[in-house]
Amino acid sequence: MKVIGVVGMPASGKGEFSRIAQEAGIPVIVMGDMIRKAVREAGLEPNDTNFGATANRLRAERGMDAIAQLCVPEIRRLNAPLALVDGIRGDTEVALFRKYFEGFTLISIESPFEKRLDRIAARARSDDFTTADALKNRDQRELGWGLGKALEQADIRIRNEGTLEEFERDVKHLLGELRGDP
């Protein structure tokens, strides 16, 4: 099976990329869901602080690629020709996926800070915030986990600076190429 990963700064468009893939019939494993599940199992409130703390705890206990390790059996179980992992946050996670899945392809989504801030303000999810300082903090936290190094390792880069329709068209085109559509 061919596995592709998506990496990007907060609110760069990873969720939209996953939705488009899913609608194209490609199964998606969301790494954040592993953390959300762990937060739920610990009986904690689903908020940004608890997601961050739980992810840190898992990494302290099992290593920086802890969340990726949890994903490997889930991906294998899909047994699909092409599958997508959404939410890679570090270069050690990229290394783990490259080790377990031959031909693993990393895609980075590039989206400027101001666009990401505007989109977060419009989205309002339970773990969201709307100030530039809060987004800067979140960016720093994620960069501290090795997101910068993961972004550098991308095999393919895709921009998300325009409309959602433009992004959707570009993502569909890319997925078609990866799937080997005629």
The contact set with ligand ATP (CB under 6 A) reads 8, 10-16, 119, 123, 160, 163-164, 167
Which of 104, 107, 108, 109 shows the shortest CA–CA distance to 82?
Answer: 104
Tell me whether residue 103 is annotated as binding.
no
Asked whether 151 and 84 are in contact (CB, 8 A), the reply is no
Q: Is 8 annotated as a binding residue?
A: yes
Is the CB of residue 5 less than 8 Å from the CB of residue 94?
yes
Query: Is the Cβ of residue 66 or residue 171 nearer to ligand ATP in the bound state?
Result: 171
Return all residues near 35 (Cβ < 8 A) that are at least 6 apart: 51, 54, 55, 58, 67
- To the nearest whole angstrom, how small is the minimum distance from the Cβ of residue 149 to ligand ATP? 17
Helix (H), strand (E), coil (C) string for 111-139: CCHHHHHHHHHHHCCCCCCCCHHHHHHHH
Closer to ligand ATP by CB, 12 or 50: give it.
Answer: 12
Shortest Cβ 166–ligand ATP spacing (Å): 7
* Residue ranges of E strands in the chain: 2-8, 28-30, 82-86, 105-110, 156-159
Cα–Cα distance for residue pair 139/156, rounded to 1 Å: 21
- The answer on whether 176 is annotated among ligand-binding residues is no
Any known ligand binding at 14? yes
Nearer to ligand ATP, 118 or 181 (CB): 118
User: CB of residue 85 vs ligand ATP: minimum separation in angstroms?
Assistant: 13
Q: How far is the CB of 103 from ligand ATP (least distance, A)?
A: 24
Q: Is 13 annotated as a binding residue?
A: yes
User: Whose Cβ is closer to ligand ATP: residue 76's or residue 149's?
Assistant: 149
- Known binding positions for ATP: 8-15
- Known binding positions: 8-15
